[in-house]
Amino acid sequence: MLQYDLHCHSTRSDGLLSPADVVRRAAARGVDVLALTDHDELAGLAEARAAAQAAGIGFVDGCELSVTWNTETVHVIGLRIDPDNAALGEGLATVRSGRDARARRIGDALEQAGIPDAFDGASGFVTSPRLISRTHFARYLIESGYVRDMKEAFKRYLTSGKPGYVPHAWASLTEVVGWIHGAGGQAVIAHPGRYKLSPAELRSLIGEFRDLGGDALEVVSPSHTAAQFNEFAALARAHGLKVSCGSDFHGVGESRLDFGDLPPLPAGSEPVWAAW
Ligand code: AMP
Ligand code: MN
Ligand code: MN
Ligand code: MN
């Protein structure tokens, strides 16, 4: 059976490896088909695709798009999108453009909390001039000794209600599903277990996504427990959605799952790649 990994990041967003190194690591660890899904960014796809060809593995053009749904940030993955699609490219440029001002506000908020120079510090970890994220702030907080690891950085400073959290309006669910489909791709709700939504709100999100023509739910993810794999597979089936899986790999030492370590999809679920 082919090993699919349809969610990971490179230095073009908040990952630690270049697109080519991401692909080489995935191939060396037994992944047969890989999607690179940088946050709000397509710039790594050409390099990754060439590396996949050289390594002899399958490659899927992907992206992880930031969405604001009912004040909650939700991530939607686009798979098999055309990286040259103009509307998608322009939409992503707009989404990215809010990140710099947001990062300055995160820096100010952390300063208020007694952590000076965090904007400059985080900027030192940025690997693409086009994209700064909370992950870069987390790496600075770790390096400066404020926290021990990523988990603590987010838990103490960077999530909703914490001193370094700044609310931000990303794209709408409708826009993002439209961009993905307009670019010939499939839309997948990433790590549904991560959102601070009640079970009723989650069903409402998934129902709205399905009504917009959304394609799949990411079921197997390091953000989920084994029980949640089955729970979300059942939820996908109940809504007529397919299922997906991905390591959400960002780098060695930072990610709970490395390439090649993904558990299989729950039996009886229809994978998003069924018709590929
Ligand atoms: P941003 O797009 O700037 O809001 O940053 C979101 C990124 O932060 C995610 O893609 C993850 O890489 C990272 N992240 C968010 N929450 C956590 C967490 N609790 N632990 C570790 N990383 C996280
Ligand atoms: Mn990330
Ligand atoms: Mn995500
Ligand atoms: Mn991700």
Q: What is the mean pLDDT of the chain?
A: 97
The predicted model gives 226-252 an average pLDDT of: 98
Q: Which residues surround ligand 3, an ion (CB under 5 A)?
A: 75, 190
- CA 248 – ligand 4 centroid, Å: 5
- CA 68 – ligand 1 centroid, Å: 15
Helix axes 99-112, 134-143, angle to 10 degrees: 40
Distant-in-sequence, close-in-space partners of 265: CB < 8 Å, separation ≥ 6: 219, 220, 229, 233, 243, 245, 271
The residue nearest atom 8 of ligand 1, judged by CA position, is 135
Render pLDDT for 40-53 as a digit per residue (tens, 0 to 9). 999 999 999 999 99
- CA 220 – ligand 4 centroid, Å: 13
The predicted model gives 139-147 an average pLDDT of: 98
The residue nearest atom 20 of ligand 1, judged by CA position, is 151
Nearest ligand 1 atom to alpha carbon 133: 3
Q: What distance, in Å, lies between the first and last C-alpha atoms of the chain?
A: 15
What per-residue confidence (pLDDT) applies to 190? 99
* pLDDT > 70: percent of the chain: 100
Render pLDDT for 1-50 as a digit per residue (tens, 0 to 9). 899 999 999 999 999 999 999 999 999 999 999 999 999 999 999 999 99
Distant-in-sequence, close-in-space partners of 137: CB < 8 Å, separation ≥ 6: 103, 106, 110, 118, 121, 122, 153, 157, 158, 164
Q: Which residues surround ligand 2, an ion (CB under 5 A)?
A: 14
C-alpha dist (Å) from residue 158 to 145, 183, 210: 15, 33, 30
Render pLDDT for 164-207 as a digit per residue (tens, 0 to 9). 999 999 999 999 999 999 999 999 999 999 999 999 999 999 99
How far, in Å, CA of 86 to CA of 19, rounded? 22
Residue to substitute in 154, 168, 196 for testing ligand 1 pocket (most ligand atoms within 8 angstroms of CB)? 154
What per-residue confidence (pLDDT) applies to 234? 98
Q: Which residue has the tokens 């909703």?
A: 160
Nearest ligand 1 atom to alpha carbon 151: 20
Cβ of 250 closer than 6 Å to ligand 1, yes or no, is yes
The residue nearest atom 5 of ligand 1, judged by CA position, is 134
pLDDT at 211 over 90: yes
The predicted model gives 79-94 an average pLDDT of: 98
Helix H, strand E, coil C: the string for the chain is CCCEECCECCCCCCCCCCHHHHHHHHHHCCCCEEEECCECCCCCHHHHHHHHHHHCCEEEEEEEEEEEECCEEEEEEEECCCCCCHHHHHHHHHHHHCHHHHHHHHHHHHHHCCCCCHHHHHHCCCCCCCCCCHHHHHHHHHHCCCCCCHHHHHHHHHCCCCCCCCCCCCECHHHHHHHHHHCCCEEEECCHHHCCCCHHHHHHHHHHHHHCCCCEEEEECCCCCHHHHHHHHHHHHHCCCEEEECCCECCCCCCCCCCCCCCCCCCCCCECCCCC
Closest CA to 131 of 91, 102, 88: 102
The one-letter amino acid code at 40 reads D
Cβ of 25 closer than 6 Å to ligand 1, yes or no, is no
- Residue 33 forms beta bridges with which residues? 4, 58
Model-wide pTM > 0.85: yes
What per-residue confidence (pLDDT) applies to 159? 97
At 237, the pLDDT band (50, 70, 90 cuts) reads very high
Cβ of 134 closer than 6 Å to ligand 1, yes or no, is yes
- CA 252 – ligand 2 centroid, Å: 13
Cβ of 37 closer than 6 Å to ligand 1, yes or no, is no
- CA 54 – ligand 4 centroid, Å: 25
